[in-house]
Structure 1
Amino acid sequence: MSPTDYGNLAYLGLLAAVLVVWMFIANRGGLGRKLQHLAAWGLIFLGVIAAVGLWGDIRQTVMPQQSVFAEEGRVELPRAPDGHYYVSLDLNGVPTRFVVDTGASGLVLTRHDAERAGLDVAALLYRGEASTANGVVRTAPVRLDEVALGPFTDRNVRAYVNEGAMKTSLLGMSYLQNFSRLEITNGQMVLER
């Protein structure tokens, strides 16, 4: 916890103590009833704190997942709560999460995802550059033996590894152009081959 978090916690504790003292002073009769109410409010307060603290985990659990319809040659990606579309691809057999970025030219991997896919990140040569919203970053060209999205498998796929810090790998147009149709409708991105 940061010093600010400790300060906020101390403030809330002091506020709660003042409210409890005021409640007992304001009505001195019926102490048992007041303790019941105090316990109920304490449990409500703890429940709210737990829900706020676990919200990230809860949201990941209930977040809709991609749907693959192999017979129809279609993949449906639901819009995430943050407004982006995410997809899981298998890179050389390793499941990897991507944010779909139609503004990105290529398939761009984080160093971590590249390493998980079996690429030797220590031997990469960062000789390319890419313009991003955060400025220019250096990139290393790589080839992925296999990229699979459900039943759709592509081999010898060109990609880039970003030298800079990136939270999630990007699925750009060089991969998306493998689909004959890309449509966003009713909060879903539909990819068809």
Structure 2
Amino acid sequence: MNEFPRTLKLLTIWLLLGTLVFLGVQALLHERQRPRLTINGGQVTLQRGPDGHFHWPGTVDGREVVFLVDTGATTTALPGALAAQLGLRREGTLQSQTAGGTVMAWQARAEVGLAGGLRFSNLTVTVIDRMNGPPLLGMDVLKRLRLVQDGATLQASLP
């Protein structure tokens, strides 16, 4: 019995083809979710993501993150899990109004960087322990920029 039966060979081929198709679809979905931006001098142009939002790659205390640009957020907000991983120190508690209602949160300070060379040192951020999803880039940062939205693009530059 040196050869696989014909049925087993066909099954193996179909499983391999199915795996390749699955991996190809996963790679395509990952590529579609990746933030699209161009940097031209001091201007960053973000393309709206497939979810309808603008996403801006950056860092928090050196850790790479992708911020969700949120003009409805007063401050930049981080999930509690990310703050714990970064070892951020609690500087006070507060109540925060979110789309889901009022939640307890706390404040910390962090170094925030955005693709395009923008840096915000010692920025006070809001940490929401039960926050799911990406960090939010709030108006505390956005108000320091000149923003122009034109359809599916958002241009940001220093004023």
Q: 2:129 aligns with which of 160, 163, 188?
A: 163
Please say if residues 112 and 123 of structure 2, whose CA atoms lie closer than 8 Å, have aligned partners that are also in contact: yes
- Where relative contact order (Cα < 8 A, 6+ residues apart) is larger, the structure is 2
1:49-68 aligned at under 5 Å gives the runs: 50-51=21-22, 55=25, 57-62=27-32, 63-68=34-39
3-state SS, counterpart of residue 88 of structure 2: coil
CA apart distance, 1:125: 6.5
Contact residue 137 and residue 163 of structure 1 kept, 8 A? no
Which protein has the larger Cα radius of gyration, Structure 1 or Structure 2?
1
Q: Which runs of 5+ in 2 are unaligned?
A: 1-9
List runs of 5+ in structure 1 lacking aligned partners: 1-38
Mapped pair 1:86 → 2:52: no
Q: TM-score, normalized by length of structure 1?
A: 0.64
Pairs within 5 Å for 1:1-193? 50-51=21-22, 55=25, 57-62=27-32, 63-69=34-40, 71=41, 73-120=42-89, 124=90, 127-144=93-110, 146-149=111-114, 150-179=116-145, 181-193=146-158
% identical aligned pairs:
29
Q: Secondary structure at the match of 1:66?
A: strand
Quick check: which one's helix share is greater?
A: 1
Amino acid of the structure 1 residue aligned with 2:31: T
- For the 8 Å contact 1:105–1:173, the answer to whether it is kept is yes
Q: 1:67 is aligned with what amino acid?
A: T
Contact 2:58 2:113 in 1 (8 A): yes
Q: What whole-Å deviation, never above 9, does each CA across 1:125-175 have from its counterpart, x for those lacking one?
A: 76211111211111101111x221232222111111002232111111011
RMSD: 2.6
TM-score, length of structure 2 as denominator length: 0.76
* SS of residue paired to 1:113: helix
CA contact (8 A) 2:43 2:155 kept: yes
Number of positions where the alignment pairs a residue of Structure 1 with one of Structure 2: 143
